[in-house]
Each structure stands twice: as structure tokens, then as C-alpha cells.
Amino acid sequence: MQLTTTSLLALRALVLLARSRRSEMRATAASLAVDLGTSSSQVTKVLSTFVDEGLIHAHRGRGGGLEISEAGLSATADTVVARAEGGRPRGAQGDGSAALSIGRLPEALEVAQKAYLDALSEYTIAALAATPPEDLGVRGVPTIGSQLR
């Protein structure tokens, strides 16, 4: 199983917001985009869902920016992935392609996806934020774009 670009961006951005919580300065979409190696419009698009759901607080005006909420810190990685992907339920099948409907392949893929998401459910954003930055692919190590090549 592999995370989509959207899910990966959401997880990394939330982890960066959790880390920036210790400082006095709030992160912005532009500053997160630089750290994540993507555009600020993509960061804004992905994180707007989390602002709407209360996992991130957005402050406008001078001194504004983004900060992670307590709910965001306690959110699990599987929840973030599901919300980033539009809230598709666990085990939702992909595009329903006939190519995947060979024998028991759909069942096997559903079992694999459930196991993958179950493994992600063990980690909160706060726990992931305690991971060294180089293990998350930020600041000087592979970025989202480089993983797509």
C-alpha cells in the first residue's frame, strides 16, 4: 500500500504544525510549502479540510497563521489519511475497475488496505511529531515531489 500525495502532504503538514507549536511564531501555508517542497496553494487546499474540522486553527491578519489544535495533536494517522482522501470509508474499493475484479483480488486488496490503515491507527500526530525530521522527509531530505518520480 502507498499513501497518496494528498495524504502524505496532510500528515507531514500536521506534524510540522505540531512541532512549530513550541515556538512563538505560527506557520503559514507558504512556510509549510517551502518545508514540504510543494506549492502554498496545494498546502492551503489540503489543510482547508482540517481547518473546517477543527484539527487546525487558522488566524487571519498580522501575526496570523496556522496552529494545530488539541484535536489535531490527538488525531491518528489513519484518521488524517481518511479525511485527506475525502472521508472514504476503510476498505472502500478504488475505481471499481474490471481489471481488479479477477478472482479474489478485490478481497485480498481490501484485507491489505485494512491492515495498512490499522497500522497507521497506532500513531497520533503528537507521536509522529516526536520523530526526528529526517525520518519524515522534510528539510533537506526527499520531498513529496521527489517520491513521485
Kindly report, residue by residue over 103-141, the tens digit of the pLDDT.
888 888 888 888 888 888 999 999 999 866 555 555 443
pLDDT of 110 reads: 85
Most confident of 32-41, 85-94, 97-106, 123-132: 32-41
What pLDDT does residue 144 have?
46
What's the one-letter identity of residue 85?
E
pLDDT of residue 136: 52
Q: Residue 66 pairs with which residues in a beta bridge?
A: 27, 58
Contact 145, 38 (CB under 8 A): yes
pLDDT per residue as tens digits for the range 52-85: 999 999 998 888 899 999 999 999 999 999 999 8
CATH architecture classification, 5-89+124-140: Orthogonal Bundle (1.10)
Torsion of Cα atoms, 126 then 37 then 25 then 125, to 10°: -10
**CB burial readout 88-111, b (16+ within 10 A) else e:** eeeeeeeeeeeeeeeeeeeeeeee
